[in-house]
Amino acid sequence: MTAYTATVTVRLKHGVLDPEAETTKRALERLGFELDALRSADRFDIDLDAPSARDAEDRADEMAERLLANPTIHDYDVEVTERE
Amino acid sequence: MTAYTATVTVRLKHGVLDPEAETTKRALERLGFELDALRSADRFDIDLDAPSARDAEDRADEMAERLLANPTIHDYDVEVTERE
């Protein structure tokens, strides 16, 4: 078994309203910052042991499907790196 | 001016309790997943125009300092990529 960290990033699908991001963008503009757009996402770093990177990725993928993301409104991606 | 996307990742500092991550970890374990640890972070993707990548990074850094992160409890990092 090897120690991996799987990073799952969960974003709202294109077209789903994100009032929190909109509020953050306006707050930055009120502070004098110029920006074209702001998107927010949730990131989960998951430490797990697995026989291969592929296996770690499959398990993180299943975690996203079953709990971390809501497939109706979210897209997600998974990246796996080996842990020291 | 060039179009950039600055990605600001805001994490809790080491040692700051994260009850939401702890709850998510337990929920995954109840679903039968084995994992050693789970850390959550907020990620902001900010589209902005700047004369250089360095300048875009400096501005995103200032946004993090002034609004996106709370220096008492958060660490953050900034990554800048050129936008098509």
Span B2-82 CATH architecture: 2-Layer Sandwich (3.30)
Bridge partners for A28 per DSSP:
none
Closest residue of A to B83, CA-based? A36
A interface mutation test: which of B2, B18, B31, B38 has the most A CBs within 10 A? B38
CA distance B47 to chain A (A): 5
pLDDT tens-digit readout, B21-70: 999 999 999 999 999 999 999 999 999 999 999 999 999 999 999 999 99
The average pLDDT across A75-84 equals 95
pLDDT bucket at B74, cuts 50 / 70 / 90? very high
Residues recorded for chain A = 84
The average pLDDT across A24-35 equals 98
Mean of pLDDT over chain B: 97
Q: Which residues contact B81 (CB under 8 A, 6 or more apart)?
A: B4, B5, B7
- The long-range contacts involving A53-56, CB below 8 angstroms and separated by at least 24 positions, are A53/A2, A53/A4, A53/A80, A53/A82, A56/A4, A56/A6, A56/A80
A22: Cα separation from own chain's centroid:
18
Of A9, A36, A42, the CB nearest to B49: A36
pLDDT score for A15: 92
Of B3, B36, B68, the CB nearest to A48: B36
Cβ of A68 within 8 Å of Cβ of B27? The answer is no
Higher pLDDT, A84 or B75: B75
Q: Is residue A59 packed enough to be buried (19+ CB in 10 Å), middle (13-18) or exposed (0-12)?
A: buried
Q: Which residues of A touch B47 (CB under 8 A)?
A: 35-38
* Phi, psi for residue A71 in degrees, rounded to 5: -60, -20
**Where are the domains positioned within chain B?**
2-82
The average pLDDT across B63-83 equals 97
* Phi, psi for residue A29 in degrees, rounded to 5: -65, -40
pLDDT score for A84: 79
pLDDT score for B84: 79
